[in-house]
Amino acid sequence: MPEREIRIYEDLSELTQAAADRFVEAAHGGIEAKGFFTISLAGGSTPRSLYTRLSSSDYRARVDWTRVHFFWGDERIVPSTHPDSNYRMANETLLKNIPISEDHLHRIPTELTPASQAAETYSNELKNFFGLKEQQWPRFDLILLGMGPDGHTASLFPGSTTLFEKDRLVDSPYVEKFHSYRITLTPPTLNQAAGVLFFVAGGEKAQAVREVLEGNYDPARYPSQIIQPVDGALTWMLDRQAARLLSSRWPNTKNPQSLDPLKRP
């Protein structure tokens, strides 16, 4: 049974520092074990604080960035220079400030149309990079994920058929609420990671956080519940606002406690 770690931090700054330390620790582990570190980045806006912190003077020197390979958990169907691009957000906050070569940036090729072509091409990039045979899945060292107020993660939205995808590494679901396609890693890919880190802040997420972590198992309604690493660590790092509706038994920075084994079927 995989273990689930839930940590609650006073505010975004404390949460960001803890997540940055976890990133550095995971990077050192990956580089030490096999000479490189594979990270799948989250999009949206919350991770801006984390990526900015990682490129700050007190963190930048703690990682051998020349041994890091960056991937993305999902992407919007916009050019990589577009304000909504997850690639652009990571580039502005981190990538342009660290010594990283282009061949270490495995961007989702959203310039390819239709979206299914972009998904297929990204899937092939994963198969080539991780040296996968048929029916094999990439095992990222660390996958960073955010969560929306509706409980979505990556581009796995409530009611999406991609939630129950069993064969594809990458999919290109149409997202009604945005009237557009997205490219996303699928649950089997996400759940093969050695480590998954949810980085969630803000009171508007509190209801979804409680439903995902303490509610009935219903991933069609709360997609983040589908993230259950098969053989990997699952860590939720929350600020106090996002955690405010949780029962008091979860660890927090005032009294760190033991891990909580997953109780899901």
Interface residue list for ligand 6PG (CB under 6 A): 42-46, 73-74, 86, 146-148, 152-154
Shortest Cβ distance from residue 242 to ligand 6PG (Å)?
10
74 or 239: CB nearest ligand 6PG: 74
Tell me whether the omega of the peptide bond preceding residue 83 falls within 30 degrees of 0, making it cis: no
For residue 30, what are the CA distances in angstroms to 19, 23, 25, 200?
A: 16, 11, 9, 24
44 or 251: CB nearest ligand 6PG: 44
7 or 76: CB nearest ligand 6PG: 76
126 or 201: CB nearest ligand 6PG: 201
**How far apart are the two ends of the chain, measured CA to CA in Å?**
10
CB of 37 within 8 A of CB of 26? yes
Shortest Cβ distance from residue 62 to ligand 6PG (Å)?
24
Shortest Cβ distance from residue 204 to ligand 6PG (Å)?
8
Cα-flanking dihedrals φ and ψ of residue 191, to 5°?
-80, 0
Shortest Cβ distance from residue 210 to ligand 6PG (Å)?
16
Q: How far apart are CA 120 and CA 152, in angstroms?
A: 22
Shortest Cβ distance from residue 235 to ligand 6PG (Å)?
15
Shortest Cβ distance from residue 16 to ligand 6PG (Å)?
12
Cα-flanking dihedrals φ and ψ of residue 151, to 5°?
85, 5
Shortest Cβ distance from residue 87 to ligand 6PG (Å)?
11
Residues composing the chain: 265
Helix, strand, coil shares of the chain as percentages rounded to 5?
Answer: 35, 20, 45
**212 SS3 class:** helix
11 or 58: CB nearest ligand 6PG: 11
Q: How far apart are CA 120 and CA 183, in angstroms?
A: 10
Give the residue among 50, 22, 52 at the shortest CA–CA distance from 37: 22
3 or 14: CB nearest ligand 6PG: 14
2 or 202: CB nearest ligand 6PG: 202
CB of 137 within 8 A of CB of 188? yes
Q: How far apart are CA 69 and CA 30, in angstroms?
A: 11
